[in-house]
A and B are shown apart, each in its own frame.
Chain A
Amino acid sequence: MSDYKDYLTRQVMLGKMNRREFLGRAAAFGIAASTASTLFATSAAAQEPKRGGHLKLGLEGAAATDSKDPAKALSQFMFVVGRNWGDMLVESHPTTGAPVPALAESWEPSADAATWTFTIRKGVKFHDGKELTVDDVIKTLQRHTDDKSESGALGVMKSIKEIKSDGDKLVLTLTEGNADLPLLLTDYHLIIQPNGGLDNPDAMIGTGPYKVASFEPGVRATFEKNADDWRTDRGFVDTIELIAMNDATARIAALSSGQVHYINRVDPKTVNLLKRAPTVEILNTSGRGHYVFIMHCNTAPFDNNDLRMALKYAMDRETMVQRILGGYGKVGNDFPINDTYALFPEGIEQRAYDPDKAAFHYKKSGHSGPVLLRTSDVAFPGAVDAAVLYQESAKKAGIEIEVKREPGDGYWTNVWNVQPFSTSYWGGRPTQDQMYSTAYLSNADWNDTRFQRPEFDKLLLEARSELDEAKRKEMYRTMAMMVRDEGGLILPMFNDFVNASTKQVKGYVHDIGNDMSNGYVATRVWLEA
């Protein structure tokens, strides 16, 4: 009873439920209407942010080798660090994923979506007191597009042909039209730095809500509130401390003993144990990341679509979500897009586990003998177990899968995108276009299913510059069907981001963009005394 009340209250606080819904559900559960409206009032009142306090986060993913240069940020830890001290031109909306203004206060595309004009916000100061100008923005973007750059945003910036200013506006010219350009600028590497970070890329000087007070790579980072922040709807706590904790057990111990307020990467295996702690709140967010089994469409035996279909039908998705994700996830449908993306093609039939269909296609393919699947636990947490589960469900359809466990060290170099059948993961991308361009375009570097279809490429390029949303949605539907029914992708599940906090932490925003409230966790939450 009180659990359910708790749940409803939380839904209100997360903004997932309005008053009418809340009262309806509460009534259905037999909570008196007067109690229910009081409840709603208290939980809504609790939304009033409190300022002050010292927030401690225990995060996985830091290493002594972390670079301070945002261009080279790779780890989860540095992702949060960057979010604390810097801003991009554009941010994405936590629930719709639409672009929202940040350092760019507005933007305007040309009719063919190939030229974009951004108005840069005025009166914003860097931490060192210098005023933000369009020149800083241009130099930043140039630093990330330079061919000699080692930036992680290099792939995103490839399509930008020219970066120039028009008075105090920024003008970007693209090699081709792209209706999603603003979302590309939300890439977490693209933090605007004074003079583009050319003088000192490691300075960690930005326009963000917190100033870096100390930073020891792989150990700890501390932050102080930036008094001159240009926004008031963020940065509630006075000081932040991020502690590197790469050991999952250490993170859980630190959270349950109250030494930190928030931890990331809770292992699905232990999440139910952690749930029992009275002071702890599990924060799981549906996201765009997904776990995949990938076949190369151009390599025997996977160059036969019947065999590919057989292997897709042999996947027991429901069991995967339950056993590998502990229920914290959603089943996938063999194309890399889910309903968290704008323009998601609804109504495509969910592919289910069907040993008979699998056996039928397998026979039709004429293949016999074992199929070799390579895997390793670095592919995704529990990947080896997942491969063994898959082996079992395929056996019922008469398909023999041989699971080969590869060393984690070097997996991304020697197995993924090299061997014809392996396990892997994908993080989300801001847009459908980017997801498809990254991994399903014929000539993409990371086309890890060797899906090479000229008509798909053509459609993708047309959709990219199409400003009519209905038309665009229809195109994405066709593309999704192509990948689902002819591609080399078996996508059993989209994984939730599973994090946890103490109950003191309020105002957590479930952001579909990326893990840890899209990295903004420390700037969005506040502490209840």
Chain B
Amino acid sequence: MESGPMTGPVLTDGTAGEPPRSADLSGMPAKPNPTGEIGGTFWRRFVFRRPLAALILKRLGLSVGLLFAVSLMIFGGIEALPGDFATTYLGQSATPQAVENIRKDLGLDRPWSERYLNWLGGAVQGDFGTSWASKNSVSEQIGNRLGNSLFLAFFAALISVPLAVGLGMLAVQFRNRMPDKIINVISLAAISLPEFFIGYLLIMFFAVKLGVATFPATVYESMSLTERLSAIALPVATLVLVVLAHMMRMTRAAILNVMSSAYVETAELKGLGMFRIIARHAAPNAVAPVINVIALNLAYLVVGVVVVEVVFVYPGMGQYMVDAVTVRDMPVVQACGLIFAAFYIFLNMAADILAILANPRLRHPR
């Protein structure tokens, strides 16, 4: 398992003025596809007048196509795994008779294309079906788990994003002096430790030795908000340590990149204070790559936290999907996969739109 949120789309190199690209949507067609003369001109005029709305529309269209592709890939992936649901679910205690019964019951004996189309027919109408293993409604279960995942991610983001950006600016202000060095060393240390290790260290100190933190972090329905918050303190701390360094370093690099430009020099010569220069003049121009990294880390907080969930015994989406993959519970895996993909797509789109709002030059890709 990789440590840190370094999976997912490739980043831009962070030079301001380049349109940020995301690997999963790379190569937006330079010319929209005119479906006919009239439609074509209408579309062109629309793009000219409302470039941002056009971009969002196009992105949404692409996203739908992408989700289809993802669902097909997940289905193919499960098909390619050794063993089907019946044999893996029953494990070592599978009698041919019981396996036969389950296969018949779920229609696993039918060709894969037919099974996929059946599932798709339901999914398009918003019906993700029932879990094969537990016979519970997938939507209902996911509602629960996704809520838990978002709860954890929200608080981790609430703490880590402002902290990372703030520390990044601080590092720039004191660049190559002691505070900068300390921030760098600590963030590099945090990024080099695997997340489960950070988790175990926190458990050892705060739960076992000092006994001040709640462990395990299991949350359940009848908990009050304060109980929940105390339960997630340690996993949130772990996640903050994991994602902080990445965002912080990107902020620092992007701002430093801008600091060497002419207008910052002008601001300095005007006699403005360092902090004001960074916050008012440099930061807005450095925002695009930073937003991209933040989006990526936010996606990671929802999608990539399986290990943290396991270590802290937290019932989130990641754990749910892993359980389902283990027994090839197709409807659950599909639903989880689509939600994860949708998260990535949405966050990337949001990042691009924000970057464009912050930097109008990006609206008209050359």
Residue A253 at the chain B interface, CB threshold 8 Å: yes
Chain B 344-363 per-residue mask, 1 if CB under 8 angstroms from chain A, else 0? 00000000000000000000
Beta-carbon contact of B81 and A202 below 8 Å = no
Residue B92 at the chain A interface, CB threshold 8 Å: yes
Residue A27 at the chain B interface, CB threshold 8 Å: no
Beta-carbon contact of B208 and A256 below 8 Å = yes
How far apart are the CA atoms of A66 and B91 in the complex, in Å? 13
Beta-carbon contact of B82 and A149 below 8 Å = no
Report chain B residues within 8 Å CB of A254: 215-216, 313
Report chain A residues within 8 Å CB of B320: 64, 218
How far apart are the CA atoms of A416 and B92 in the complex, in Å? 9
Q: Which of B92, B132, B207, B332 contacts A412 (CB 8 A)?
A: B92
Which of B90, B144, B313 has the most chain A CB atoms inside 10 A of its CB?
A: B313
Q: Which of B90, B144, B145, B311 contacts A247 (CB 8 A)?
A: B311
Beta-carbon contact of B312 and A250 below 8 Å = yes
Residue B74 at the chain A interface, CB threshold 8 Å: no
Beta-carbon contact of B200 and A249 below 8 Å = yes
Report chain A residues within 8 Å CB of B19: none
Beta-carbon contact of B95 and A63 below 8 Å = no
Beta-carbon contact of B134 and A64 below 8 Å = yes
Beta-carbon contact of B311 and A249 below 8 Å = yes
Q: Which of B60-68, B156-164, B257-265, B323-331 contacts A (4 or more CB under 8 A)?
A: B323-331
Closest to A217 in B: B134
Beta-carbon contact of A218 and B82 below 8 Å = no
Closest to B136 in A: A217
Report chain A residues within 8 Å CB of B327: 63, 65
Report chain B residues within 8 Å CB of A413: 82-83, 87-88
Interchain nearest-CB distance for A337 vs B (Å): 19
Q: Which of B203, B216, B222, B319 contacts A218 (CB 8 A)?
A: B319
Residue B93 at the chain A interface, CB threshold 8 Å: yes
**Given contacts A150-B105, A410-B83, is CB(A218)–CB(B215) below 8 Å?**
no
Residue A198 at the chain B interface, CB threshold 8 Å: no
Report chain A residues within 8 Å CB of B312: 250
Residue A33 at the chain B interface, CB threshold 8 Å: no
Beta-carbon contact of B87 and A257 below 8 Å = no
Residue A468 at the chain B interface, CB threshold 8 Å: no
Q: Which of B35-43, B96-104, B110-118 contacts A (4 or more CB under 8 A)?
A: B96-104
How far apart are the CA atoms of A393 and B98 in the complex, in Å? 40
Residue B141 at the chain A interface, CB threshold 8 Å: yes
Beta-carbon contact of A220 and B87 below 8 Å = no
Beta-carbon contact of A410 and B88 below 8 Å = yes
Beta-carbon contact of A154 and B98 below 8 Å = yes
Chain B 177-203 per-residue mask, 1 if CB under 8 angstroms from chain A, else 0? 000000000000000000000001001
Residue A37 at the chain B interface, CB threshold 8 Å: no
Q: Which of A168-176, A238-246, A283-291 contacts B (4 or more CB under 8 A)?
A: A238-246
How far apart are the CA atoms of A217 and B315 in the complex, in Å? 10
Closest to A152 in B: B93
Report chain B residues within 8 Å CB of A217: 134, 136, 141
Residue A356 at the chain B interface, CB threshold 8 Å: no
Beta-carbon contact of B91 and A445 below 8 Å = no
Beta-carbon contact of B105 and A220 below 8 Å = no
Chain A 203-220 per-residue mask, 1 if CB under 8 angstroms from chain B, else 0? 000000000001011111
Beta-carbon contact of A74 and B91 below 8 Å = yes
Interchain nearest-CB distance for A408 vs B (Å): 10
Beta-carbon contact of B313 and A243 below 8 Å = yes
**Given contacts A63-B323, A64-B141, A151-B98, is CB(A257)–CB(B215) below 8 Å?**
yes
Beta-carbon contact of B82 and A247 below 8 Å = no
Residue B139 at the chain A interface, CB threshold 8 Å: no
**Given contacts A65-B323, A257-B208, A414-B83, is CB(A214)–CB(B96) below 8 Å?**
no
How far apart are the CA atoms of A147 and B221 in the complex, in Å? 38
Beta-carbon contact of B218 and A154 below 8 Å = no
Q: Which of B87, B93, B101 contacts A149 (CB 8 A)?
A: B101
How far apart are the CA atoms of A202 and B130 in the complex, in Å? 15
Beta-carbon contact of B81 and A64 below 8 Å = no
Residue A148 at the chain B interface, CB threshold 8 Å: yes
B-facing residues in A398-414 (Cβ within 8 Å): 407, 409-410, 412-414
Interchain nearest-CB distance for B128 vs A (Å): 14
A-facing residues in B122-140 (Cβ within 8 Å): 131-136
Report chain B residues within 8 Å CB of A407: 82
Residue A155 at the chain B interface, CB threshold 8 Å: yes
Closest to A216 in B: B220
Q: Which of B83, B144, B204, B326 contacts A63 (CB 8 A)?
A: B326
Beta-carbon contact of B98 and A150 below 8 Å = yes
Q: Which of B87, B97, B207, B324 contacts A253 (CB 8 A)?
A: B207
Closest to A155 in B: B95
Closest to B209 in A: A257
Closest to A246 in B: B310
Q: Which of A63, A148, A220 contacts B220 (CB 8 A)?
A: A220
Q: Which of A154, A202, A214 contacts B97 (CB 8 A)?
A: A154
Q: Which of A65, A257, A258, A414 contacts B329 (CB 8 A)?
A: A65
**Given contacts A64-B320, A74-B93, A257-B211, is CB(A220)–CB(B135) below 8 Å?**
no
How far apart are the CA atoms of A296 and B161 in the complex, in Å? 60
Report chain B residues within 8 Å CB of A246: 310, 313
Beta-carbon contact of A445 and B95 below 8 Å = yes
How far apart are the CA atoms of A66 and B105 in the complex, in Å? 18
Interchain nearest-CB distance for B358 vs A (Å): 41
Report chain A residues within 8 Å CB of B313: 58, 243-247, 250, 254
Residue A442 at the chain B interface, CB threshold 8 Å: no
Residue A67 at the chain B interface, CB threshold 8 Å: yes
How far apart are the CA atoms of A217 and B255 in the complex, in Å? 48
3 closest cross-chain pairs (CB), A and B? A410-B82, A65-B133, A413-B83
Residues of B within 8 A of A (CB): 81-83, 87-98, 101-102, 105, 131-136, 141, 144-145, 200, 203-204, 207-208, 211, 215-216, 218, 220-222, 310-313, 315, 319-320, 323-324, 326-327, 329, 332
- 8 contacting pairs across A/B (C-beta < 8 A): A64-B324, A147-B97, A150-B101, A219-B220, A249-B200, A249-B311, A410-B88, A445-B95
Apart from A58-B313, A65-B323: 6 A-B pairs, beta carbons within 8 A: A63-B323, A155-B95, A214-B222, A218-B319, A245-B216, A409-B81
